[in-house]
Amino acid sequence: MLVKKISSIFKAIIGIAVIIGVNGCKPPVDDGDQQAKPIFVKDVSLCDFYEGICIVNVGEDALTLNITPANTPSEKPLSVSVNLPDSAELISARVEGRDMFMGIIPLNLSQTAKTEYKATLIYGSCSSNYMVWRMFVTYRNKGVEQTAMFDFLADNDI
């Protein structure tokens, strides 16, 4: 008899938990939009190309990155521009997913001025609707090899 009561209580608790869980997973409803988009908090540590170039300091070296268009759309050609310090030489550059593996995309930067390098980049889309990419720029300055990392959001339609 006691086992039946415990079993009934346990079933009731599981049923309530399922109801709460199912309702908790529903996206917020926006009366003006049939498909409400998830809301993400803006990560201020990411490069924001709407604001202009992105600057990363590695020791005393300042490197810059600019990508156009500013919203950095997936599966579309992006124009990439990297500037190194005056005395630095580029070794390599690549792009990878910061938080998930999306492959390694080598970036063939061509020197267009003394400190400026340019390339075209295309990367894939991510089903999570929030994909942060990381560009690694490896260079040598005064005999020391360094790597700068630039993080930016794909499909940044703010």
pLDDT tens per residue, range 96-146: 998 888 889 999 999 999 999 999 999 988 777 788 999 999 999 999 999
Nearest alpha-carbon partner for 116 in 86, 95, 72, 91 = 86
pTM above 0.85, yes or no: no
Which H or E run contains 11?
A: helix 2-24
State residue 35's pLDDT score.
54
Residues 60, 136: Cα–Cα separation, whole Å: 18
Report DSSP state, residue 82. E
Residues 117, 114: Cα–Cα separation, whole Å: 9
Tell me which of 35 and 46 has the higher pLDDT: 46
